[in-house]
Amino acid sequence: MINQLGKREILIIKHLINAKKPLSSDVLGVILGTSPKTIRSSMEYVGEILKIAGGAKIISKTGSGYSIEVFDDNEYRVFMQTFNAKYLDAYWIPTNISTRVTYITRRLLMSDSYLKMEQLMDELYISRVTLTKDLKEVRKTLRSYHLKLEHRAKYGLKINGKESHHRVALVDYLDADEDSNSVDYNNDQALYMRDPIEVNDVVINSLMSNRISISTNSLRKLIKLIIVSEYRISKNHHMIFSTVELVNLTSKGEYESANDICHALGLNWDSTEIAFLAIFIISRRNIMKSEPFSVHQEALYMSYSTEIIQKLKNDLSSDFSLYEGFEYELAKHIRGMTYRVKYGLEKRDVGILESKGSNPAFEYAVIASDWLSNRLNMDIQETEIAFLSYRFYMHFRFMAFQKKSNILVVLSNGKNASDLFIHELQTNFGKFIENVDATEFYELPYLNIENYDCILTDIPAIQFNVSVPVRRVNYFLTENDLQKLKRFFMHSQINSEHFVECFHETLFFKDMEFDDKNQVITFLHEQIKKKHDIDAHTLENLFRREQLSSSEKGNSVAIPHTLYASSDCPIIAGCILKRPMLWDKEYCQLILMVINGRKEAAPFLALSIAKAATGNIQFVYDMIRSDDFHQKIDIIKTFVDGFEFN
C-alpha cells in the first residue's frame, strides 16, 4: 500500500508528521507549489492510506487545518518504520518516471553489449520522446557513480567507466530490486551464482574473527558486492590496480579478512579482486574509540585531520583540538572517507536534508570536505559531506556558545535571600556563567548595568528601567523557569534585534522571475554589492559553496550563502519568486542569501537562525504571503524570540 504513494502524498505525510500544530491546505499549497484544492484532494487519498495501512486517520478542523490522529499505536509504528526507511531522504521521491529510470539503469548495468533504444521502448511500452527524457535522468544517475552512458549510432546504448564504479552501481540496483514490485526483473536472477545466506555467514565469521565492525547496512552491501563481483568476473570483467596500490592494499589488516572470506567461499580470486573487497571493508569499517589506531601506520590521515582542524581554527576561530580525542576520531573517519571517494564507494544512504538543519556542523563539514577535495583532487559528493557532519555535530554547541554570561540577581527579599538562589543557578547553569552578583532593587540606578548580560529577578520586569534583558523567575526555580533560563543561556548571543539588523528593505524583492539558480545568486549578490562593502571574491565564494552542496533545504526554500565570512557583519538579502522554480532537486519560492560575517558572535550564527526559521513551514508560508517588508520583520522577530537550535 505504501508503494502507491505519489510525490505530493509523501511530502504531505512528512509535513503532517513533523508539524507541531495543524496545517491548513493554504499553507501546504504554498510550500508544495500547488493549489489548496489539489491539497484537499490529495489529503483524502492520504487519509484512506493511513486508515487502511497506517492505524491512523486525518483530522480536519475548521479554522486550523489538518493533523494526524493515531487509533492503533502498533500499526502506526510499523507504518512509520516502513515510511521512514523508504522515504527518509526527501530527494528520493518515487514517480512513474523514476520506476522506468531504475529499470533502464539496471538493464544497462546488466548488459554486456550495446542495448538498442527500440528494445527498451518495446519493453516499457513508451515512445522515443519519452525514452529520450528518461535517458537524461539515467545519465544524471550514472554520473553520481562516475559512469557515462554512451550512445553509438546503429549499435545502441552502453555504460562506460571503471569496473569498481560499475560494481558499486550494480550493488545499489540490487537493493532497488528488493523495493520494486512494478517491473519483472527475473533476468537478474542469473546474477545470483551463490546463496546470499551462505555468504552472509562466512562474512560475519571472518569480520568477527578479525575484530572488524561494519554497520548492518554495509554488511548487506558487502554480501551483494561479493555476489556482483563473482558475476562480473564470470563475464571477464576484472579489477585493475597499479603495483603501488596493490602493495599498499595487501599490507592492510582488512586485506586479511577479505582473503579469509574468499578462501572460506572457495573463490579462486587473484590479489586484485581480494584487494577490492578489502577496500570496501576499509571504507565501511567502524573504528571504535576502544580500538587501537596506529598514528604511525595511519600518519597520512592523522596529518589530514590535523590540517583540517588548523584550517577551521584559522578561518573560523573554532579550535576543535580542545576536545579530547577529536583529532583521532576525525582521522578515523577521513581514512574511510578517502577510500570511498577515491574508489567510488561513496555512502549514499545519508539523509541530506536532515543534516542541513540549523546545526552549523554541516558547514564545518563543507569546509573540511572542500579542503580534502582539493588535497585529493577529487570531487566529494553531498552525501559524504552530510556523513562527515556527524563528526562535528556533538561539538557544535560548545563551539557556537563559548561566551559566558555575567548575571545580576535582584530579589524582592534582597541580598540576604540570594545565596540559595545563586547556588541553584550555578548548579544548573554554571558552565554558561562567568560571574553572578546580587544587589538591592534600590541600588540599580547606582550600578553600571552595562557590565551584565541579564538581570534575574522575582520582581515584575515592568518595574525595571534598564538596557539589559530582564528575566522574571521564581525564587525556587520551577521546571518552566529552568526551561526559560536554558533558552536564555544557550542563545544569549541571539536576539531578534541583532538578527533583524541583517535584513534591509532595499534588499528584499518580490514577484521575481529567473531561469535558473545561478541568475538568482548573481542578482542578489549584485544588489548586496551596491549597498554593502563585501569581499571582492564573494560571488566566487557563493558559487563554490553551491557547487559543494546545494543550498535548497525543503519547505520551498533555498539559502545560498558564502563558504567563508565575506563581510564584517552578516547580511541577508531575499526574494520571493513569482512561482516556484526548480533549484536543484527541489522547487523553491523563498530565497534568502546569507553573507556570513566576521564579527558574528559565533560562526554561521545568522545562517543557522535562517535555516531554523525556514524549517518552520508556518514561517515560510507567512514570509511568502506577507504584503510588505515590515510585516516580514515582525514575522522574523516573533520566530527568533522563541528560537532554538535543533
Residues 544 and 636 in one domain: yes
Residue 88 reports pLDDT greater than 60: no
Residue 93 reports pLDDT greater than 50: no
182: pLDDT confidence band, cut at 50, 70 and 90? Answer: very low
Residues 374-401 pLDDT 10s: 999 999 999 999 999 988 887 665 444 4
Domain carrying residue 626:
496-641
Domain boundary among 284, 307, 338: 284
Evaluate whether residue 294 is within a structural domain: no
Residues 182 and 205 in one domain: no
Evaluate whether residue 292 is within a structural domain: no
Q: Give the pLDDT confidence score for residue 91 in this predicted structure.
A: 42
Specify the range with the lowest mean pLDDT, choosing from 183-187, 375-379, 546-550: 183-187
Give the C-alpha separation, 533 to 345, whole Å: 43
Domain boundary among 227, 255, 284: 284
Q: Which residue has the cell 583521532?
A: 328
- Answer with the residue of higher pLDDT: 320 or 486: 320
Residues 421-468 pLDDT 10s: 999 999 988 888 999 999 999 999 989 998 898 999 999 988 998 888
Q: What share of the chain is helix, strand, coil (3-state, %, to 5)?
A: 55, 15, 30
Distance of CA 319 to the CA centre of its chain: 23
Evaluate whether residue 22 is within a structural domain: yes
C-alpha cell, 303: 596529518
Query: CATH number of the domain that 79 lies in?
Result: 1.10.10.10
Strands 433-438 and 405-410: parallel
Evaluate whether residue 276 is within a structural domain: yes
Specify the range with the lowest mean pLDDT, choosing from 120-124, 132-136, 212-216, 551-555: 120-124
Domain boundary among 36, 57, 87: 87
Residue 84 reports pLDDT greater than 90: no
Assess contact for 386 and 351: CB atoms under 8 A: yes
Residues 108 and 149 in one domain: yes
Specify the range with the lowest mean pLDDT, choosing from 100-109, 424-433, 636-645: 636-645
558: pLDDT confidence band, cut at 50, 70 and 90? Answer: very high
Q: Give the pLDDT confidence score for residue 360 in this predicted structure.
A: 86
Residues 132 and 187 in one domain: yes
Q: What is the dihedral of CA 424, 425, 429, 434, to 10 degrees?
A: -130
Residues 313 and 427 in one domain: no
Residues 58 and 154 in one domain: no
Q: What is the mean pLDDT of the chain?
A: 87
pTM score, whole prediction: 0.77
Q: How many domains does the chain have?
A: 6
Evaluate whether residue 474 is within a structural domain: yes
Residues 520 and 629 in one domain: yes
**Burial degree of 424 (CB within 10 A; 0-12, 13-18, 19+):** middle
Residues 511-532 pLDDT 10s: 999 999 999 999 999 999 999 9
510-540 exposure pattern, b = at least 16 Cβ within 10 A, e = fewer: eebebeebeebbebbbebbeeebebeeebbe
Evaluate whether residue 293 is within a structural domain: no
Evaluate whether residue 436 is within a structural domain: yes
Q: What is the dihedral of CA 512, 515, 517, 523, to 10 degrees?
A: -50
Residue 188 reports pLDDT greater than 60: no
Long-range contacts of 633-641 (CB under 8 A, 24+ apart): 633/500, 633/503, 636/496, 636/499, 636/500, 636/503, 637/496, 637/500, 639/613, 640/494, 640/495, 640/496, 640/499, 640/500, 640/609, 640/613, 641/496
Residue 156 reports pLDDT greater than 80: yes
Give the C-alpha separation, 568 to 65, whole Å: 43
- Answer with the residue of higher pLDDT: 483 or 501: 501
Evaluate whether residue 646 is within a structural domain: no
Assess contact for 554 and 11: CB atoms under 8 A: no
Residues 450 and 464 in one domain: yes
Residues 49 and 184 in one domain: no
Assess contact for 564 and 598: CB atoms under 8 A: no
Q: Cα separations (Å) of 47 from 42, 50, 156, 563, 637?
A: 9, 5, 45, 43, 36
Crossing angle of helices 326-343 and 271-284, in 10° steps, is 140
Residues 47 and 154 in one domain: no
Query: CATH number of the domain that 359 lies in?
Result: 1.10.1790
Q: What 3-state DSSP class applies to 547?
A: helix
Q: Which range, 365-379, 395-409, 449-463, 626-640, has the best average confidence (pLDDT)?
A: 365-379
179: pLDDT confidence band, cut at 50, 70 and 90? Answer: very low
Residues 108 and 69 in one domain: no
Q: Give the pLDDT confidence score for residue 292 in this predicted structure.
A: 63
352: pLDDT confidence band, cut at 50, 70 and 90? Answer: confident
The proportion of the chain whose per-residue pLDDT surpasses 70, expressed as a percent, equals 90
Residue 549 phi, psi (nearest 5): -160, 125
Amino acid 405 reads S
> Taking residues 177-201, what's their average pLDDT?
64
Q: Give the pLDDT confidence score for residue 151 in this predicted structure.
A: 93
First to last CA, the chain: 32
Give the C-alpha separation, 560 to 551, whole Å: 5
Residues 560 and 603 in one domain: yes
- Answer with the residue of higher pLDDT: 166 or 186: 166
